[in-house]
Structure 1
Amino acid sequence: MKLKNNFHIYAMITIIFWSLAYVLTRLSLQYFTPFSLGFLRYFVASCTLIIVWVLTRMKLPQRKDLPYFILAGALGFFFYMIAFNLGQKTVTASTGSIVIATVPLLTAFIARFVYREKMSLVQWLALIIEFAGVAVLTLMNGILSFNIGLVWLFLAALALSLYNLLQRRLTKKYTALQTSAFSIFFGTILLAVFLPVSVRQITNAPPIQWVYLVILGVFSSAIAYVSWSKAFAKAEKTSQVSNYMFVTPFLTSLFGFLMADEIPELSTLVGGGIILFGVFVFNFGEKLWEVIKNRK
């Protein structure tokens, strides 16, 4: 398989930049509120994609498809961010991580009915293995809490799952660049309600925070989401791409160690190993099983 046609490469590019975003976001929240940081991040992403739009002469989407792009922007950038931040106010970080880790499961479940996508028993088993890895990673040294924040977090997970499905639909007709760019544009427009407070906060932020914003906007948003859409365009099933989201907690822990001096605990190593094993089983388990059977 040629690299340019390999959805695994594009999915991993996205997951690496998204994992980096979690660490940079924690560092940036020392100076910005969650809502203003969300607007500034996607404002930078939009500015980047506008430049790309001009240079590539990217075509506008058809008028009949605008509602899908607006919905993608609302679900994947506006509503998701608000629901996630509200949820994180009242639950532990461990609880938040494990709830958002249900996104691949929700995406696969909904795709089963919306796109009639089927998964093998091996792939469902792999999802369970990966979810168990996230549970070990987040709960081995943590406490699971139950309150209204869980409702917001499950709504955030559902919004992100529906965004994944919309990306799958849009990439059937538009390029990955068009699909992600216009979704981000509409999401940024909706997030502009936080513009006034964002302006006040960014004028008082130190230079390093500007650097974080550029990385978050250009790499963790513009490039990451284009790559994510590209993966959906090349994969046969939605679940093949969304499945990579299970790797995010593990990579986030590694980046936290490298950038923020957060020492990985035993749960990180054990949970991360389980997650990576599950990803391997999901993508290559059936082929490996066929090889084993043929050798018998």
Structure 2
Amino acid sequence: MNSSSSPARSRGLAFAAVVVTVVLWASAFVSIRSAGAAYSPGALALGRLLAGALTLGCLLLVRREGLPPRAAWPGIAVSGLLWFGAYMVVLNWGEREVDAGTAAMIVNIGPVLIVLLSARFLGESTPPRLLAGMAVSFAGAVAVGLSMSGEGRASVLGVVLCLLAAAAYAGGVVAQKPALRHASALQVTAFGCLTGTVACLPFLGTLVEEAARAPLPATLNMVYLGVFPTALAFTTWAYALARTPAGRMGATTYAVPALVVLMSWLALDEVPGALTLAGGALCLAGVAVSRSGGVRSRGDRSPGGRGGPRRVPEAPAAVREAEPRG
């Protein structure tokens, strides 16, 4: 009884963590729109990371978690530089050059890159259902991006920056996965955020200058970005990633455009058109398809790093086994 309920509980907790992550990351688009009007890309990234690092540091003290093991540091350092550092700065910059719809459409190349990089470096499989679900979701993301695009032209610089953001996001996810075999989700997130914060310190002077004249709502949105979409959502993401193949986790983020449409409708009174609604429905349908079936990572180990490669047993395995979500 206990052996069968533990994997089910693990799947349920991982799914709940994914839901929290996707909802908070979707809410970030609304906050970035507000804060980005008063803060430059680098200053906004640093302010967000400082708020996130402070929050995560307090959580580490409360939970009495120390430094991660040495084996986790390469993945933490790479994911911190790529995802917490480069991704946030480059995406903030890119969204100044292209509209939000175009940016979202381009950045959604990231999950495809995650699947390819995970297959190459993590030994994860790419089953037909995962690929089919990603194709459906990507079509939905394109539809949402086109429907939300403004009349302005998308600059070549903006497109290149969004492509770089997608590549940094994918590289960060794939680098983070091995670190979670040796350290907790909180440790990996906290020290990854700290790494990104240190990398963004050259923007400190700009942040101080802009904070002195920025309106209060913009600063509050920047703090919100650091506490919730960064500190909380990146931790719940890492928790789920430790128990789920990276390719499938990447595919799940295709739900973000659909939630952005809904949040814009509710919070900004932006009534979506038929194409936007259809694209959002495709995003969610693709996620459902990609989450179905039994995708496993051929080389995955337990988050603690002591177990051997995972198998696909008929009988319930140890709790250390990372179960697929859903």
Aligned residue for 1:2, secondary structure, equals helix
Matched, 1:23 2:15: no
2:68 to 61, 64, 89: 61
Is contact 1:73-1:183 (8 Å) kept?
yes
List per-residue Cα deviations over 1:112-131 (Å, max 9, x = no partner). Answer: 11111112112211110000
Task: Give the letter for the 2:260 counterpart.
Answer: T
List gaps (5 residues or longer) in structure 2.
1-7, 296-326
Identity over aligned residues, as a percent?
27
TM-score (norm 2): 0.81
1:222 to 231, 247, 256: 231
Matched, 1:42 2:46: no
Number of equivalent positions: 286
List per-residue Cα deviations over 1:263-283 (Å, max 9, x = no partner). Answer: 222222111111111111111
Matched, 1:14 2:21: yes
In 2 relative to 1, CA 89–216 (structure 1 residues): closer, same or farther, beyond 3 Å?
A: closer
What is the rounded CA distance, in whole Å, between the counterparts of 2:285 and 2:170 in structure 1? 23
**Counterpart in the other structure of 1:292:** none
User: Per-residue deviation at 1:141?
Assistant: 6.0
Taking the TM superposition and a 5 Å limit, the aligned residue runs for 1:52-131 are 52-63=59-70, 65-131=72-138
What is the rounded CA distance, in whole Å, between the counterparts of 1:112 and 1:249 in structure 2? 25
**Counterpart in the other structure of 1:249:** 257
- Structure with greater proportional helix content: 1
What is the rounded CA distance, in whole Å, between the counterparts of 1:6 and 1:55 in structure 2? 21
What is the rounded CA distance, in whole Å, between the counterparts of 2:147 and 2:102 in structure 1? 12
Deviates more, 1:205-214 or 1:218-227: 205-214
Task: Give the letter for the 2:140 counterpart.
Answer: G
User: Per-residue deviation at 1:146?
Assistant: 6.6
Is contact 1:91-1:149 (8 Å) kept?
yes
**Counterpart in the other structure of 1:159:** 168
Task: Give the letter for the 2:56 counterpart.
Answer: L
Task: Give the letter for the 1:204 counterpart.
Answer: R
Task: Give the letter for the 2:17 counterpart.
Answer: Y
Aligned residue for 1:268, secondary structure, equals helix
In 2 relative to 1, CA 58–41 (structure 1 residues): closer, same or farther, beyond 3 Å?
A: same
Matched, 1:204 2:213: yes
List per-residue Cα deviations over 1:91-146 (Å, max 9, x = no partner). Answer: 34332211101111110011111111112112211110000011111114647857
User: Per-residue deviation at 1:185?
Assistant: 0.6
Task: Give the letter for the 1:268 counterpart.
Answer: T
User: Per-residue deviation at 1:75?
Assistant: 0.1
TM-score (norm 1): 0.89
Matched, 1:265 2:277: no
**Counterpart in the other structure of 1:280:** 288
Matched, 1:133 2:168: no
Aligned residue for 2:37, secondary structure, equals coil
Is contact 1:24-1:216 (8 Å) kept?
yes
User: Per-residue deviation at 1:71?
Assistant: 1.8
Is contact 2:140-2:280 (8 Å) kept?
yes
List gaps (5 residues or longer) in structure 1.
288-296
List per-residue Cα deviations over 1:12-58 (Å, max 9, x = no partner). Answer: 21111111011011011222222211111110111111111212221
Is contact 1:181-1:222 (8 Å) kept?
yes
Is contact 2:129-2:292 (8 Å) kept?
no
Aligned residue for 2:66, secondary structure, equals coil
Aligned residue for 2:67, secondary structure, equals coil
Task: Give the letter for the 1:221 counterpart.
Answer: T
Root-mean-square deviation (CA), in Å?
2.1
What is the rounded CA distance, in whole Å, between the counterparts of 2:62 and 2:293 in structure 1? 42
**Counterpart in the other structure of 2:301:** none
User: Per-residue deviation at 1:90?
Assistant: 3.5
Aligned residue for 1:36, secondary structure, equals helix
**Counterpart in the other structure of 2:200:** 191
